[in-house]
Amino acid sequence: MKILLPLLALASASLALAQAPVAPASSALRPFGLVIHGGAGVIERRNMSPDLDAQYRATLQQALDAGYAVLDRGGTALDAVVAAVTVMEDSPLFNAGKGAVFNADGICEMDASIMNGATLQAGAVAGLQHVRNPLHLARDVMEKSKHVFLIGEGAEKFAWSLGYERTPNEYFQTDFRRKQLERAKQLESRKDNGTAALPADLASPTTRDERHFIHEQKYGTVGCVALDRQGNLAAGTSTGGMTNKKFGRVGDVPVIGAGTYANNATCAISATGWGEFFIRATVAHDISAQMEYQGKDIRAAAAATLAKVAQLGGDGGVIGLDARGNVMTDFNSEGMYRAYRISDRKTVIAIYGDEPR
Ligand code: ASP
């Protein structure tokens, strides 16, 4: 009996072990985390005051912390993306939600999209003028409508049908962005009425001024990619687009496969940059496709895609995460507001081209 009892105890313990779910143990070891951006463009040390630099870093940290907290407690990648982007949409520093750039009529007009890498479901909105957090509505399009992409008044009608509060456009407007619009209009009056095609040779000295003019009209778009403890990826991007935009112009941000893409089999990507070129190069999906069809790693794939964008004459940046938690932050502009945290490793926050990417 003395021998039998410990044997019985051992047998019942191993039975309990065999029946115990294995998921919690393995998911505890899985990498999780997120990468965020606050836009790419002509962001240089010499044009940034120490105070503004500190404000940007503090808000990036706050956004990263909001997303990380969701993942750390076992929440979904989608919830983390929404949590991080909401902080940046609510901050006047970025060109998304409050602080969005003005269109040519002096109105803030916003676009956003989100994608679930586990299901390949996606939601997108464009031309919103009265929805406080455009990314929230993009998510509701994905989860509560049978569509993927809603625009303008129709998208807002959908928001009201869900009980969203109508936010006055003045809420989004800031003096800084108004001055940017005034400057863009002054420069434009010396050029064309905004309908002229871009010069074919964008690299020539005569068009350098043109490039600078266009660069001044954008940046500050925000985005996030996340990997949760269950191994699911998600991506989301939100923007006011380009200053002085006309004729219902929509950039890459709400175009699934251009500004945003997520697929558990490859990666999650959020882009920022000169939207016209990012649409033409189908940037976010192009990175995923190289990983899927050519077996490239996320960094090599992103570098190849940004080279295509540059060849077309555009610039900007991308952030990404793959299902193993490999981080990518890359850009061919002067700088990009960016930050990431993977599992319990140290947070990285960077702005300029000479900082880690
Ligand atoms: N990609 C955005 C757009 O073209 C602008 C940006 O990323 O700053 O609308």
d(CA 32, CA 50): 32
Atom number in ligand 1 closest to CA 95: 8
Query: To the nearest whole number, what is the mean pLDDT of the chain?
Result: 88
pLDDT, mean of residues 18-29: 48
pLDDT, mean of residues 124-131: 98
Is residue 336's pLDDT more than 70? Answer: yes
Nearest CA to 181 out of 100, 94, 250 is that of: 100
Q: From the CB of 253, is ligand 1 less than 6 Å away?
A: yes
Is residue 87's pLDDT more than 90? Answer: yes
Give the per-residue pLDDT at 247.
96
Atom number in ligand 1 closest to CA 275: 4
d(CA 112, CA 190): 32
Is residue 22's pLDDT more than 60? Answer: no
| Tokens coding 161 | 């049908």
Q: Which strands sit side by side in the sheet containing 260-262, from one edge to the other?
A: 260-262, 267-273, 316-322, 327-331
Cβ neighbours, 10 Å, residue 20: 10
Would you place residue 164 in the very low, low, confident or very high pLDDT band (cuts 50, 70, 90)? very high
Specify whether the CB–CB gap between 221 and 94 falls below 8 A: yes
Q: Which residue's CA lies nearest to atom 9 of ligand 1? A: 241
Report percent pLDDT > 90 for the chain. 76
Is residue 267's pLDDT more than 50? Answer: yes
pLDDT, mean of residues 85-106: 97
pLDDT, mean of residues 255-270: 98
Would you place residue 130 in the very low, low, confident or very high pLDDT band (cuts 50, 70, 90)? very high
**Catalytic residue numbers, as ranges:** 221
3-state secondary structure of 304: helix
pTM: 0.88
